[in-house]
A = this chain, B = another copy of it.
Amino acid sequence: MSLETAGLLQDGEAVCLQWSDGKTARFHAIWLRDNAQDPETRASGNGQRLITILDIPANTRLASAEIKAGDQLHLRMTPENKELVFSGNWLRKRIYDTPAVTDRGWCPKHITTWDAGLNASVPTVDLNQAKADRTSLANWLEGVRRYGLAIMTGLSTDSGSLCEVAELFGYIRETNYGRWFEVRSEINPVNLAYTGLGLQAHTDNPYRDPVPTLQLLACLENSADGGESMVVDGFKAAQVLRQESPESFDLLARFPVRFEYAGADDIRLRAKRPMIELGPDGELIAIRFNNRSSAPYTDIPFESMADYYRAYRKLAEIIERPEMEVTFKMKAGDLFIVDNTRVLHARKGFSGAGTRWLQGCYADKDGLLSTLAALEEKMQEAAE
């Protein structure tokens, strides 16, 4: 795709570009100057910006704009009298001259929401395959980014082996529960997770800010009756709620609630965040949902509290619908990972003569998404 025309606008405050397919986009002089790619603006080794906004004159304008070699935009900036060069392709990928988003609760295109229909097609890989083949690993990580859920098989049943999975793509988030923790029935459990009780679908640790953004659960033994795992896409649940009751969606996004965990003497974890978190541009950012650790809600005014509870109940009802839920029974050597800002997990109660022994750990999405982006870039380069 080549650049066809470049015309100055508003006395050089911006430039309007047109590509050979007819696409047009405007870019501001100040934006272009700030994002200059020359070695005085960006460090050539690590790519970091060497200047601050205060190094750029406030009255920065474009004195001229010229297209060379089909794709190279040459710009002369005033008052610095500096020449900048951008590739049309680089600019095309960074167009911001688009209609403002007004939708509330939208998801970016690398995310696909799901319901029970995903049951047969949860992204799954064998650990040895993921270690041996970077394409397999990238596909699996892409599944986590897209669905917030993936399964890995073939783990050793040695204690702590799940850490090896976290270290494939990132770093463990250590907490008061340790680098990893046991999930099995205990006498005097500090957490109801460590009993045979069924657990309602929930996100983990909403009483923590920042919340752990990934949870890994590995199975070492599962011979008990029951104890099936269920997962629900909280983003899908929020979308269904918005469709069926927009005012309920709005209430859960508009007010923060409180979460608390005080299961041991030296732990008083507390957080205040909404059940449905939206970015300032309306992007669906996170779901927090946990009956066990919900503290009294004190940030919702009296006039809205009854409606808030009705909205909360509606979301809970949607989450409980069988058509929302993917169910599986873990066996020794299996692991599943969830995006804990999005996907809720639950388990059926268990009992009987056998044992259900899981181990869990937390990690964060920054590392996973970075590893995936780096792998994708290398695969892209190899394909070119």
Contact = CB atoms under 8 A, between A and B. Distances in A.
Interface of A: 13-14, 26, 28, 30-31, 34-35, 43, 45-54, 58, 94-100, 171-176, 188-192, 200, 207-211, 213, 253-256, 261-274, 277-281, 283, 291-294, 296-306, 309-310, 312-313, 316-317, 320, 364-367, 369-371, 373-374, 377
Contact of A48 (B191, B254, B305, B367): B191
Nearest to A174: B171
Given A49-B292, A95-B298, A96-B301, A309 B31 contact: yes
Contacts of A31: 296-297, 305, 309
A301 B174 contact: no
Contacts of A279: 256, 272-274
Contact of A370 (B172, B267, B272, B371): B267
Contacts of A267: 370, 374
Given A45-B190, A210-B211, A210-B213, 4 more contacts: A46-B262, A96-B297, A256-B283, A270-B373
A268 B300 contact: no
Contacts of A264: 46
Given A175-B171, A271-B366, A293 B94 contact: no
A47 B188 CA distance: 12
Nearest to A195: B43
